[in-house]
């Protein structure tokens, strides 16, 4: 009887041991599954982090924000302000873009910023303002006001900035207004026109269309060398002209085909150049003085009206204006040709705009 009891106990212990082993094995398997899930979860997090790093890794145009000091405001803007600043010891102008000012147009602001930084920093020409780079709002920006430093924490959702060389003589618009009464010497007119023509010729040689050529987007350095700025609506010229139909630019400078949302190419810049040339010679910034702003679009397109060329304007310069304003874009000269025509002008024989010349009007443009 005792032997039977001992045998029963041994069998029972063996059964319990086997059950414990099975439970341990099951727990081990469950633990392994949990570990595997944890590792997979961690791997997924790592992959997401890698993607995040790839998305935020430094771009070619990004500058070191720790070297940038932003000073006083020098000009207001639609989506921000332009400040005087210092970058790595160099005088610069800083265009600070703030999305909160864009209100419902944040998408357009981001597109404009992306377009500008993808084109401008790569350009290198004496008549293109040098863009040193840009910053996204991912680090603190240093603002100095009244000898005090303010570290403004910025993030990508709120702001960005574009840094260009500082050009002390301001816009061509303000320069023309200052000289409106005394006018410019003919030699100065041709020199400035050449600066603009060379800058645009360079852009077109790189298949870039500016699309907003106007005196407000032209700055002067200390030697009064003219330089083109602002590439937020610039684009690479489409191989298919039908792809470029966006109605972009500034009224008064826009070519008829742009105003009508028809397909266009780099020749729209040539038309705008012709308006700027008129303004430089006349030392005026209102090529349509008798037409209110809201009516300029229909006036240029449907009434075929162009600015009146003063009788005192040398024929060589007047001819360039007329060619640039041709209603048919294909008949307008290339900017490279305009450079050649301007260089051929004998500035010793031509005369500048007369100070006594009366109010200017508009002329019908004959197709």
Which phi and psi (to 5°) does residue 73 adopt? -70, 135
Q: Is 107 exposed, middle or buried (0-12, 13-18, 19+ CB in 10 A)?
A: exposed
> What DSSP designation does 177 have?
H
Query: Whole-model pTM?
Result: 0.77
Per-residue pLDDT, 44 = 52
3-state secondary structure of 137: coil
State the pLDDT at residue 75. Answer: 86
Report DSSP letters for 248-262, one per residue: -S-TTTS-HHHHTT-
- pLDDT value of position 59: 81
- Helix (H, G, I), strand (E, B), or coil: what is residue 128? strand
Q: pLDDT tens digits, residue range 72-99? A: 888 887 667 899 999 999 999 999 887 6
Catalytic residues, which ones?
Answer: 212
Which residues on adjacent β-strands are paired with residue 74? none
Q: What is the pLDDT of residue 108?
A: 76
Residue 42 pLDDT? 47
Computed from CA positions of residues 362, 198, 204, 77, in that sequence, does the dihedral angle turn out positive or negative? negative
**Fold topology of 65-165:** Phosphorylase Kinase; domain 1 (3.30.200)
pLDDT of residue 168: 95
Pick the CATH number of 172-364 from 3.40.50.920, 1.10.510.10, 3.30.70.330, 1.10.1660.10: 1.10.510.10
Which pLDDT belongs to residue 107? 75
pLDDT in tens, 132-173: 999 876 455 777 765 555 444 444 444 788 999 999 999 999
What are the extents of the domains in the chain?
Answer: 65-165, 172-364
| Joined tokens for residue 75 | 């000009």
Which ranges of the chain have pLDDT less than 50? 2, 5-6, 8-9, 20, 39, 41-42, 45-55, 138, 150-158, 361-367
Give the bridge partners for 337, in sequence order.
none
């Amino acid at each position: 009887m005792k032997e039977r009891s001992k045998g029963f106990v041994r069998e029972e212990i063996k059964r319990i041991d086997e059950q414990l082993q099975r439970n341990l094995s099951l727990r081990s398997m469950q633990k392994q599954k949990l570990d595997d899930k944890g590792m997979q979860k961690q791997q997924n997090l790592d992959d997401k982090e890698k993607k995040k790093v790839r998305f935020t890794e430094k771009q070619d145009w990004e500058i070191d924000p720790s070297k940038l000091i932003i000073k006083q405001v020098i000009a207001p803007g639609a989506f921000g302000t332009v400040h005087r600043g210092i970058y790595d010891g160099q005088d610069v102008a800083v265009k600070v873009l703030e999305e909160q000012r864009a209100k419902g147009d944040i998408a357009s602001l981001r597109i404009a910023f992306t377009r500008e930084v993808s084109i401008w920093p790569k350009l290198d020409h004496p008549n293109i303002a040098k863009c040193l780079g840009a910053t996204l709002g991912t680090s603190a920006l240093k603002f100095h006001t009244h000898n005090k430093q303010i570290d403004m924490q910025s993030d990508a959702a709120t702001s960005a900035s574009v840094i260009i060389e500082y050009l002390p003589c301001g816009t061509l618009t303000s320069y023309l207004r200052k000289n409106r009464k005394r006018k410019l010497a003919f030699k100065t007119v041709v020199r400035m026109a050449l600066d603009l023509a060379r800058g645009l010729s360079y852009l077109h040689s790189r298949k870039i269309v500016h699309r907003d050529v106007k005196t407000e987007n032209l700055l002067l350095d200390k030697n009064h060398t003219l330089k083109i700025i602002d590439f937020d609506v610039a684009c690479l010229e489409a191989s298919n002209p039908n792809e470029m139909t966006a109605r972009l630019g500034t009224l008064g400078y826009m070519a008829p085909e742009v105003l009508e949302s028809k397909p266009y190419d780099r020749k729209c810049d040539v038309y705008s150049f012709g308006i700027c040339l008129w303004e430089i010679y006349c030392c005026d910034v209102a090529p349509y003085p008798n037409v209110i702003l809201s009516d300029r679009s229909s006036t240029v397109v449907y009434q075929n009206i162009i600015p009146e060329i003063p009788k005192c304007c040398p024929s060589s310069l007047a001819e360039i204006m007329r060619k640039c304003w041709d209603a048919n874009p294909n008949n307008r000269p290339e900017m490279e040709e305009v450079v050649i025509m301007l260089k051929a002008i004998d500035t010793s024989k031509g005369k500048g705009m007369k100070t006594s010349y009366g109010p200017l009007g508009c002329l019908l443009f004959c197709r």
